Structure 1
Amino acid sequence: MKSLPQILPLSLLILLLMIIDTNADFLTPIDFLNARFVNTESRSVFPLNDQRFHLKIKRHLAIANKLNITFQRTRRGSAVAYEADKWPNGRVPYVLSPAYTPMQRAVIARAIAGYSSKTCIRFVPKEINDRDFIIISKLDGCYADFARVGGPQQVSLADECIDYPTIIHEFMHVIGFIHEHQREDRDGFVNIIWRNVIPGAETDFEKISARGLSYYGEGYDYFSIMHYEASEGSRNGRNTIEAKQHGFTPLMGKSTDFTISDLNRINRAYNCKRFDPFSFL
């Protein structure tokens, strides 16, 4: 009589599945299961030069400036207003590099789940007919192509970028949002201390024209996940950005999750319906 095959313990089975799944081009149910145990409070300093403007996006913004186009919004300057630069229906196809460890995959999954639970943005595995998609891989730091540029586009998440706040920050660039301190109206809220900025990093602190962009009705947000810290890009450890509102300077750029303002902009930009900004995983 043949003996029945031995059943593996559940913990060992999950471990084996994790090892197998790390070779997948997409996140798996195991990754999203592990995502529930990710510490979302840990974060690194946001990198410089992390929003890359593709030629198509630059052309759209230049046209908007030349034609003096304005959009019917309460305020302007935070996210793309051109529908052609947005991801249709908030659907962002992706391909994932196999270079990520099981823990790193879990952190990426947690960031994607954060979007799914609070917005209508969906990062989904690329299908054969998808021509526009993002490639998430370990290149040379943390950065993303801004908005939908057409065809494959890069999101670089190197080892030092794998924490929840950094990833949701980079993904906001992907769906078309600029840094908060680069809003055209920022001079009413912050001062840029140019003498403290690292030489060559000045473009990270320049204002971006509001033409072709929209604030989607939201005012300046010191706590936005898209805001730099006070000493970001400093050549000498001193502040590069200081809040005009008393007491806010040490708090800027410290968020570890979306603010209500961040979520309002995303949901308005993509016409999301019935999403609760207070929902949690």
Structure 2
Amino acid sequence: MYFSFGVLTSLLSILWSNADADEHTLAPTFQDTAKETGADFSDIVSKIMGINKYLVNTSASEHILGGDYREHLDTICSGGDKSCLWPSSNKNILVPYMFKTNFNKAQRGILSVSMSELEALTCVRFKYRTREMTYLEFIDGIGCWSYVGPGKQRAQEISLQKPHCVHVGIIQHQLMHALGFYHENCRIDRDNNIEVEMENIQKESENNFKVQKSNNLVTAYDYVSVMHFGRFAFSKSPGLPTIVPKPDPNVQIGQFMGLSEKDVLKINTLYQCQVCGNLFTKSDGSFTSPNYPDVYPSFINCKWMIRAPLAHKIILEFDFFHIQPFVGCYRDHVKIYDGSTSHSPILKGPACGKMAPAVISSQHKLLITFFSDGQKHTRGFSAKYRFVKCGKMLTASPTRIIGRVEHNGSVNPLEVSNCFWLIQAHRGHKVILEITTYNFQKSEKCTDAYLEISDASVAPPISRGIFCGTIPIPVIEGNALLIEFSHPGSKKQPGLRVDYKCIAGPTERKGEGSIQWSQYNALTLVLSMLLISSWMM
């Protein structure tokens, strides 16, 4: 039995057309949001200590130090002792784990995201335990706590009291303890960076501020580490600070989002990880492929994670993009996920060639991956990002005659509406925009109230015009058009209406562009069928 080439061609055509017809949904998954919305605390450690106050005068509080960790009786970690490190295998650090308690599916999903983010940014790899003698054991104990560093051939408990401790930031805090780290505000050089106000600390909690004999791994002090106490930790009275930063007392200390950029650096330094990628948490920034602007190397697997504050979106654009093209972008390629793990929905990719895969996230995290094989390479890419509060990515469907976006600005004169839409066409098509604005105020040089449109499929993006006042807006077309609406609030409530449609058009040059993931799977299936057919003939 074999498949004729005609049948395979027809099947491929059907699969491609079905893939084109499916509009990508941008709804965040539970794993990505991980119940992070509605958080009512300013830093992770304060949240942990608020939960752990119920440990006091219980058997579970025995040997608890620093408010949430224990030390092995046979091992004291100082951030550099080899006995405090988990073993390496094939350049990765293997940390086996298992569940002693029955965490439900949703809670295991949050645990999975917490570990996956750490894996994406470091060489640490968590694996479910088989026969390993030393391993992490997640339990539903009283409070949130962990041992520091690995023990010697035994189970090592991490207590995550359900549901309070099952939060990405809390889990990553405890995992950093398990990897060998103490609290940042107790490192040996802390007095150069913070003032500990001992007179404001609860008497029974003074030992939690004891300086540790730490190896700082030649890293700068990190005020926003996931391991840093908050400003009012263990205070005698609400509003009395126990920690004051130096020299600027107004510097933010602590946060509840998860790992900081320096946390990632410290893990990679301690375990001598050779990784490609980084974590970005600032409001805007840029990054490039390795060796850019020179040719990127062979056999790289890079991962960059961008994390915005809650209720923000991320716009990702490219100032340069040229990845060695190949059919289906099967070899060198970029993929962009709408979330922090490779299980998140794919926004763009695999992408190669010269068409830039610009995106707007549907939530506050993006993961960008870059892979290269051993074949011919090009210069790679230069990317830039920014955080926005209002943004949406839309796909113009070839099966729908017309789509529409309507937006009304604020009526509050003190509030500026600033919103973005990225309207993209499917492969082999282009999108056409017809835009109507109303109640736009006059703006000198279009600086205060304006509508800006650019083609983000080009690297760098090409401006298609800035419009303000009563200036008519022509019909605009392109492959991925980014619209920015910026206008001060007004009682007349300024706004706009965008009608968009998708038409067939030569949007790609030979060997360029990207491929949807479903199309990539379809291509892989058909190629496999061809190989099987030739083998059976």
Same fold by TM-score greater than 0.5: yes
> C-alpha distance in 1, partners of 2:201/2:67?
13
Name the CA distance, whole Å, in 1 between partners of 2:217 and 2:258.
19
Cα distance, 1:247 vs structure 2: 4.3
Name 1:223's counterpart in structure 2: 224
Q: Which of 136, 143, 149 is equivalent to 1:141?
A: 143
Amino acid at match of 1:252: I
2:69–2:148 Cα contact (<8 Å) kept:
yes
- Displacement after TM superposition at 1:134 (Å): 1.1
Q: Report the counterpart of residue 205 of structure 1 in structure 2.
A: 209
Residue of structure 2 equivalent to 1:95: 98
Distance 1:188 1:255 in 2: 24
Q: Deviations over 1:7-29 (max 9, x none)?
A: xxxxxxxxxxxxxxxxxxxxxxx
**Counterpart secondary structure, 2:75:** helix
- Confirm or deny: 8 A CA contact 1:120 1:275 kept in the other structure: no
| Structure 1 counterpart of 2:241, from 236, 239, 242 | 239
Moved over 3 A (4+): 39-44
Equivalent residue number for residue 173 of structure 1: 177
Distance in 1 (CA, whole Å) between partners of 2:231 and 2:220 is: 19
Residue identity in the other structure for 1:85? C
Find the counterpart in structure 2 of residue 35 from structure 1. Answer: 31
Report the 3-state secondary structure (helix = DSSP H, G, I; strand = E; otherwise coil) of the residue aligned with 1:201. helix
Choose between structure 1 and 2: higher helix proportion: 1
Query: Following TM superposition, by how much is the alpha carbon of 1:39 offset from its aligned partner in structure 2, in angstroms?
Result: 4.3
Retained in 2: the 8 A contact 1:136–1:154?
A: yes
Paired residue secondary structure (2:145): strand
Query: 67, 87, 102: which is aligned to 1:49?
Result: 67
Q: Secondary structure at the match of 1:161?
A: coil
Q: Is residue 2:186 matched to residue 1:182? A: yes
Which structure has the larger Rg?
2
The reply on whether 1:156 has 2:159 as its aligned counterpart is yes
Which residue of structure 1 aligns with residue 121 of structure 2? 118
Give the Å deviation of 1:157: 0.6
Q: 1:37 to 1:190 in 2, by over 3 A?
A: closer
Q: Deviations over 1:8-54 (max 9, x none)?
A: xxxxxxxxxxxxxxxxxxxxxxxxx8523424564652326212111
CA separation of 1:248 and 1:122: change in aligned 2, threshold 3 A = farther
Q: Extract unaligned runs of 5+ from structure 1.
A: 1-32, 62-78
Are residue 107 (structure 1) and residue 110 (structure 2) matched? yes
Separation in 2, partners of 1:245, 1:233: 22
Answer 1 or 2: higher relative contact order, Cα 8 Å, separation at least 6.
Answer: 1
Q: 1:270/1:240 Cα in 2 relative to 1: closer, same or farther (>3 Å)?
A: same
1:250-261 → structure 2 map (5 Å cutoff): 251-261=252-262
Secondary structure of 1:277's match? strand
User: How far, CA to CA, are the matches of 1:122 and 1:148 in structure 2?
Assistant: 14
- Structure 2 counterpart SS, 1:106: helix
Contiguous gaps of at least 5 residues in structure 2: 1-28, 50-65, 280-303, 306-339, 341-537
Separation in structure 1 between the aligned mates of residue 225 and residue 101 of structure 2, nearest angstrom: 31
- Percent identity between matched residues is 23
Q: Measure the CA separation in 2 of the matches of 1:37 and 1:193.
A: 36
- 1:265–1:227: structure 2 CA closer, same or farther, 3 Å change rule? same
Q: Post-superposition shift, 1:132?
A: 0.4
- Residue type at the aligned position of 1:121: V
Deviations 1:166-222 (A, max 9, x none): 110110000001101001111111111112222221121110123xxx222201111
1:255 Cα shift?
A: 4.5
Q: Normalized per residue, which structure has more strand?
A: 2
Q: Report which stretch shifted further, 97-106 or 201-210.
A: 97-106
